[in-house]
Amino acid sequence: MRYRTIGQDPRNRREVSVLSLGAMLLGSATDEETSFAILDRYVEAGGTFVDTANVYAYWVTGSQGGESERLLARWIRSRGIGDEITVATKLGARPKDPGTGYLDNAEGLGAKTVREAAERSREQLGLEKLPLLYAHIADPATPLEETVDAFAGLVAEGVVGLLGISNHWTWQVARAREYARAAGLPGYEVAQYHHTYFRRAADLPTRPSLEDHEGTVGGDMLSYLRADPTMSLVAYTPLLAGAYSRTDKPLGAEYDHPGTALRRAALAEVARETGATVNQVVLSWLIDADVPAIPLVGASSVAQLEESLEAVELRLTGEQRARLDGSGEE
């Protein structure tokens, strides 16, 4: 396993594995025995960065979420896991009522909600301190400053370590971080966004919602992160839910453009040269990119996880990386 430091303040920064394990469906769609086996194998391989959210997985169970956090708590207790594992969770998207979705009925990022949701996650995870807490989705009804103040208050109280942000426009990220700096407050140091090798069509309209992948990394976000490398990037859905390698997982309309075919050909070529799978090439490309990302991978079996773990040791040559970067650019 390889490792990377996230965060700047020595009191809260963490050294985490360059491959993060997504626990979204653990404890709901994935049964407990299989979930524990996946987590055990991840840790055995040196993995130290597990991701969840208070909203996971309400759409499977018809609840308000929390199944993943509670599954992780049971695993942590049963295995005697301590501070060596960085558990990241998110708040802000939990439905206010069971059986509803987050789009029109999310808990939001108001100060009172932030405090209550963080406390609920600490209880459900069985942790005295949340190592990394994200603002999950944008809340247009709450000023950014109110949310930043609320998150900073949790850090000051010692119940949260690092702060992260996900699925916000780049300008919102920049404004929130600028406000925190000016006020002398801890700010967001980790960005979690959808990021992968294939690129979305640039001319498709987007709205600030997960359904439209507003959380997809674009040129503006990459430029921002390149200019300020103090912020770490975590890439969710890096393997497009299996669409790189499975014919039964078609790509969405956002990838229906000529550049996708060119990039697919380049991936296949590099995979043949390295003896790796296409998925492994994608993960390696992300890990060692000029704006390095920590891929966040899910797994419904230990076998699926093994493929991702093996990608960590794959090192692409400069020529291979340049070929991949240049494909589809015309």
**Structural domain includes residue 267:** no
Q: Percentage of residues in the chain with pLDDT exceeding 70?
A: 95
pLDDT digits (tens, 9 = 90+) for 44-56: 999 999 999 999 9
According to the model, what pLDDT value does residue 208 have?
A: 42
CATH number for 53: 3.20.20.100
**Structural domain includes residue 270:** no
DSSP string, 103-165: TTTB----HHHHHHHHHHHHHHHT-SSEEEEEE-S--TTS-HHHHHHHHHHHHHTTSEEEEEE
Q: Distance of CA 67 to CAs 20, 158, 177, 300, Å?
A: 19, 25, 31, 15
Q: What residues does 51 pair with on adjacent strands?
A: 22, 88
122: containing domain? 3-257+279-318
**Structural domain includes residue 330:** no
What contacts 133, CB < 8 A, 6 or more positions away? 88, 89, 90, 91, 118, 121, 151, 154, 160, 161, 162, 163, 164
**Structural domain includes residue 328:** no
- Token readout for 226 is 């390149």
pLDDT digits (tens, 9 = 90+) for 148-200: 999 999 999 999 999 999 999 999 999 999 999 999 999 999 999 999 999 98
Range 229-258 average pLDDT: 92
User: How many structural domains compose the chain?
Assistant: 1
pLDDT reading at 202 higher than 80: no
Neighbours of 269 (CB within 10 A): 15
Confidence band, pLDDT 50/70/90 cuts, at residue 297:
very high
Longest dimension (CA), the chain: 54
